[in-house]
């Protein structure tokens, strides 16, 4: 049975994150992805003495997967950024995987160039120029491309402490280029020393554009995996956990991202406010406008206003709220709404065209609601409008042609 599509991946860096831990975590969660990694490495033109393998291990009593590269009698590769790009270009890789691997290396190169005040052409990767790092980057790129529709997020990163030995001498942890790659990410201190986020792990997170928290909308957990680090940590398992999410089971509703705008007005006449809100209702992107009475400052009666609009229309609708009402500020919150499949149809009733909104309910039945403004224009009294409404809705549902 084919695996269901992954809609989102959340990474829990319990022990930290490195390239090998990222690869192992995803392949532990989705074992079928190992074949694509192994195929990419077979195409990469690795020297005879370079071997990569997956195997099961434990960290802190937790079973997970390791991804390790063994190098036996293989000369180290050229370490310049241009040499790495040339190596990727020469290999018969999938074009998308090649581009993704090059993008990860470019992020590393840009961080190194910024830290050392040099150009990309002059960047030498030193420790990152070994076959181990090349394999990790290529495997990570393969997995990212194998999950093309996934969003990515990551929990707070352990900062670590102490120093790491580099070609430039002993540098504080996280190393300067690593820190540059991780600008904007959340960190935490857990009191455990050592390097917890490697440059390769940082470059992968930067390339993914991983958000600091899982998505707010409901999603269904479809799997998880543990990618294990090489060393043991005191009091904590050295692992990266990957949680894979799928879309919720199909429902009768669809989801639409929306913005909710709220404000209060206590110094505008009811007539003028009603006119302003009517113009807001007609504004492009506005889905709904409503108001209700509230007690404001100093016991003054006020009108609370709520405007629901499309996310892309927020700025224009906020400006319209400030223009059409006397409020001095608008609160904005992002959310979503779930809506039933619906459509608007026009039917002929008593010689008049009446619009009717039809919707399919979760149990499969159809409901209908005639447009009040079309009924009001008929000139009929309340009883007559009720008869017109019933007739219009019955015709829209195809359940009969009740006489108005």
Residue 404 counted as domain residue: no
- Final residue in a domain of this structure, among 222, 246, 270: 246
Quote the number of domains for the chain: 3
CA distance 331 to 16: 38
CA distance 264 to 107: 47
Residue 402 counted as domain residue: no
In this predicted structure, the answer to whether residue 336 has a pLDDT above a threshold of 50 is yes
Q: What is the pLDDT of residue 124?
A: 67
Residue 283 counted as domain residue: yes
pLDDT band at 248 (very low <50, low <70, confident <90, very high): confident
pLDDT digits (tens, 9 = 90+) for 48-68: 889 999 999 999 989 999 999
Contact 262, 305 (CB under 8 A): yes
Q: What is the pLDDT of residue 122?
A: 67
Mean per-residue pLDDT over the chain, rounded: 89
Which of 55, 41, 33, 2 shows the shortest CA–CA distance to 242? 33
Average pLDDT over residues 319-329: 96
- Final residue in a domain of this structure, among 246, 281, 300: 246
Average pLDDT over residues 23-49: 95
In this predicted structure, the answer to whether residue 1 has a pLDDT above a threshold of 60 is no
- Determine phi and psi for 99, rounding to 5 degrees: -65, -40
290 and 377 together in one domain:
no
Average pLDDT over residues 163-169: 67
161 and 220 together in one domain:
yes
214 and 178 together in one domain:
yes
Q: Which residues pair with 307 in a beta bridge?
A: 261, 289
Q: What is the pLDDT of residue 15?
A: 96
The DSSP code sequence of 359-377 is EE-TTS-EEEEE-HHHHHT
The DSSP code sequence of 289-326 is EEEEEEE-GGG-EEEEEEEEEEGGGHHHHHHHHHHHS-
CA distance 41 to 52: 8
Residue 326 counted as domain residue: yes
Q: What is the pLDDT of residue 253?
A: 73
Residue 201 tokens, joined: 């792990």
Contact 304, 364 (CB under 8 A): no
Q: Which residues pair with 35 in a beta bridge?
A: none
- Domain range enclosing 347: 342-397
Side-chain half-sphere exposure of 249, counting CA atoms within 13 A: 0
Q: What is the pLDDT of residue 402?
A: 54
Residue 354 counted as domain residue: yes
Q: What is the pLDDT of residue 166?
A: 66
Report the interhelical angle of 199-208 vs 95-116 (nearest 10°): 120
383 and 308 together in one domain:
no
Q: What angle (nearest 5°) sits at the alpha carbon of residue 63, between those of residues 62 and 69?
A: 120
CA distance 42 to 29: 22
pLDDT digits (tens, 9 = 90+) for 182-193: 999 999 998 898
**Helices in 193-325 by DSSP H: which ranges?**
199-208, 270-281, 314-324
Residue 381 tokens, joined: 């009294």
Percent residues over pLDDT 90 in the chain: 57
Burial status of residue 266 (CB atoms within 10 A of its CB: 0-12, 13-18, 19 or more) = middle
pLDDT digits (tens, 9 = 90+) for 291-321: 999 998 888 899 999 999 999 999 999 999 9
Residue 357 tokens, joined: 């909104």
Q: List the single range of 207-211, 306-310, 320-324, 345-349 with lowest mean pLDDT.
A: 345-349
Query: Could you tell me whether strands 239-246 and 331-339 are parallel, antiparallel, or unpaired per DSSP bridges?
Result: unpaired
Residue 3 counted as domain residue: no
In this predicted structure, the answer to whether residue 375 has a pLDDT above a threshold of 90 is no
Please list, in sequence order, all residues whose beta carbon lies within 8 angstroms of the beta carbon of residue 290, skipping any fewer than 6 positions away: 305, 306
- Final residue in a domain of this structure, among 315, 338, 361: 338
Q: What is the pLDDT of residue 298?
A: 83
Residue 221 counted as domain residue: yes
188 and 47 together in one domain:
yes
Three-state secondary structure call for residue 330:
coil
């Amino acid at each position: 049975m084919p695996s269901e599509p992954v809609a989102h991946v959340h990474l829990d860096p319990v022990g930290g994150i490195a390239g090998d831990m990222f690869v192992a975590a995803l392949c532990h969660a989705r074992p079928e992805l190992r074949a694509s990694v192994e195929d990419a490495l077979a195409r990469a033109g690795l020297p005879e003495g370079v071997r990569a393998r997956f195997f099961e291990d434990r960290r802190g009593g937790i079973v997970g997967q390791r991804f390790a590269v063994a190098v036996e009698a293989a000369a180290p590769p050229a370490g310049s950024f241009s040499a790495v790009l040339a190596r990727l270009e020469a290999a018969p890789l999938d074009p998308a995987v090649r581009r993704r691997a090059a993008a990860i290396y470019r992020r590393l190169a840009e961080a190194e160039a910024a830290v050392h005040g040099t150009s990309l052409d002059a960047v030498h990767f030193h420790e990152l120029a070994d076959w181990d790092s090349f394999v990790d980057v290529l495997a990570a790129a393969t997995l990212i491309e194998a999950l093309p529709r996934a969003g990515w997020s990551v929990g707070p990163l352990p900062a670590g402490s102490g120093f790491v030995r580099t070609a430039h001498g002993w540098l504080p942890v996280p190393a300067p280029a690593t820190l540059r790659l991780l600008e904007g990410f959340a960190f935490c201190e857990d009191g455990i020393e050592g390097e917890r986020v490697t440059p390769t792990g940082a470059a992968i997170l930067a390339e993914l554009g991983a958000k600091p928290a899982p998505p707010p909308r409901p999603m269904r957990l479809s799997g998880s995996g543990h990618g294990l680090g090489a060393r043991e940590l005191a009091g904590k398992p050295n692992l990266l956990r990957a949680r894979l999410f799928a879309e919720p089971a199909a429902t009768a509703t669809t989801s639409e991202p929306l913005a909710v705008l709220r404000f209060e007005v206590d110094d505008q006449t009811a007539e003028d406010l009603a006119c302003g809100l009517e113009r807001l209702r007609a504004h492009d992107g506005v889905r709904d406008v409503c108001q209700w009475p509230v007690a404001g400052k100093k016991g003054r009666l006020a009108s609370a206003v709520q405007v629901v609009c499309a996310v892309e229309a927020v700025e224009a609708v906020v400006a319209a709220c400030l223009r059409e009402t006397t409020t001095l500020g608008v609160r904005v919150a992002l959310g979503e709404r779930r809506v039933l499949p619906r459509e608007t149809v026009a039917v002929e009733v008593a010689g008049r065209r009446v619009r009717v909104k039809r919707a399919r309910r979760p149990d499969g039945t159809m409901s209908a609601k005639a447009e009040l403004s079309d009924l009001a224009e008929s000139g009929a009294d309340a009883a007559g409008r009720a008869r017109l409404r019933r007739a219009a809705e019955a015709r829209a549902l195809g359940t009969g042609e009740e006489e108005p």
